[in-house]
Amino acid sequence: MDRIILRDLAFFAYHGVYQEEANLGQRFYFDLDCYLDLRPAGETDDEHQTVRYDHIAKRVETIVTKQRFNLIEALAEAVARDLLSNMDKLQSLRLKVRKPEAPIPAIVKDIAVEITRARKDYNL
């Protein structure tokens, strides 16, 4: 299946279990593989035959900055559900949420969760 790929999509937000995460905030990074048939867009050069990546980015930004989650698992699930529910041509996606400034007593590049969801997972 074809895909639209977004890497290192970043937003500043206030998600996390700890109070200092809610107060101070931190950066969250998103990697998305959005699966759909790109042939109609490729054959017609018509933007209405695809899912625009700027629309994907805007929907992710809205969820990340307008809602608050304790867990990045819940954040990932909310993003996946929204994208699949609101973008008809999108069939499935793989989404990784990275949290490089997680307050843990270790030196790590980042903490992340990755989920794979399809329209059928939400009865769409």
Q: What angle do CA 31, 49, 54 make, to 5 degrees?
A: 35
- Report the predicted TM-score, pTM, of the whole model to 2 decimal places: 0.94
For the chain, the structural domain boundaries read 3-122
Task: Output the pLDDT for position 101.
Answer: 85
50, 4 contact by CB (below 8 A): yes
Residue 99 catalytic? Answer: yes
- Candidate list 66, 99, 109, 120, residue with the active-site label: 99
Residue in the block written with tokens 């999509």: 9
Quick one: average pLDDT of 6-21?
95
| pLDDT confidence of residue 60 | 98
- What strands lie across the sheet with 26-35, from one edge to the other? 3-13, 26-35, 92-99, 111-118
Q: What is the pLDDT of residues 20-56, one digit of tens each?
A: 989 999 999 999 999 999 999 999 999 999 999 999 9
Q: What is the CATH number of domain 3-122?
A: 3.30.1130.10
Q: How far is C-alpha 120 from the chain's CA centre?
A: 18
